[in-house]
Amino acid sequence: MSLPGAPPIRNAATVDLEDWYQGIEQPCECWGGFEERIHSGAAHMLDLLAATGTRATFFVLGWLAERHPALVRRIAEAGHEIAAHGYDHAKFYEITPGVLRATLSRAKRAAEDAIGKAVYGHRAPYFSLTRRTLWAVDILAELGFTFDSSVYPGANWRYGIPGSPEGLYLLGDTGIVEFPVSVFSIKLRKVGIGGAYFRILPLRVTEWGLRTINRQGRPAMIYVHPWEIDPSHPFVRFRWKAMATHYFNLRAAAPRLRRLLSRHCFTTMSDAIADVRARGPLPRVTLDQ
């Protein structure tokens, strides 16, 4: 908990840079057939961040970085941090270690080529670093990542490691800092700060969860997507449960995000991690135990 008179805890603002059709489980080979809206969504996101004086970490899909390096460069030049989000949004548990090594290396290289410097952060598509994909941690270390945000410390129908730590920690002996998805409890259920949770729950509930985490002396982290603040993006039918959360309450996302960022202190993931590490060593955690 912050001492009286101390500066407020800096939370992490994160954006998964992907177009609307890239998070609805459509094969990468089909993406060329969808209306592209990444530029308008990203521009709106950059304007919102600028209006609230917020620097964020953008987890960039490699497929986009290869096709739109100028957009990635524009984001970096606006003062935001660039990190990797896989190449084609494939879940870890649906690919092999060899495929992950090749595609994630390609994604990292594409982001680095776009901004002209190394990329150290990573987030797995669909937070798919689960107990059955812990083999991926060694690949992250091998590729030179130093921080990760892929673990959801709760149960979800697509992801999650229930019972894993909610604060920052080191992933075994790799030296990688894990900044897990920020969660808080509602009626014994863990809910996240970001994505569909942010649109489903009233803003006052999300803010209560954020303040609860901060009172425990920890930074919270929010994750959002450009398509969430682009409510007029096309409607398509896909798996009903995912479709329901994808399209729910999109028109509320931008005004809610603006208010949240204006009322609380947010920065990049690297800066938030540095704040925590400055207060003392992080615990070392082996998630398969």
The answer to whether position 1 is within a domain reads: no
- Does residue 188 register a pLDDT over 80? no
Residue 199 inside a domain? The answer is: yes
Q: What is the pLDDT of residue 162?
A: 94
Cα 154 to Cα 51, 157, 161, 210, 212: the distances in Å are 33, 10, 6, 16, 17
Within a domain: 2: no
The count of domains in the chain is 1
pLDDT tens readout for residues 231-274: 999 998 887 778 888 889 999 999 999 999 999 999 999 999 99
User: Tokens at residue 52, please?
Assistant: 């609230």
Name every residue whose Cβ is closer than 8 Å to that of residue 171 and which is 6 or more positions away in sequence: 137, 140, 148, 177, 178, 285, 287
In a domain, 269, yes or no: yes
Asked, for residue 191, whether it belongs to a domain, the answer is yes
8-20 confidence digits (pLDDT tens): 899 999 999 999 9
Going by pLDDT thresholds of 50, 70 and 90, the confidence category of residue 5 is low
Spatial contact of 6 and 265, defined as CB atoms under 8 Å apart = no
C-alpha–C-alpha distance, residues 93 and 168, integer Å? 24
Q: Domain of 33?
A: 11-279
Residue 287 lies in a domain: no
Residue 25 belongs to some domain of the structure: yes
CATH classification of the domain holding 86: 3.20.20.370
Show the tokens assigned to 189: 């259920």
Whether residue 215 lies inside any domain: the answer is yes
Q: Considering the entire predicted model, what is its pTM?
A: 0.95
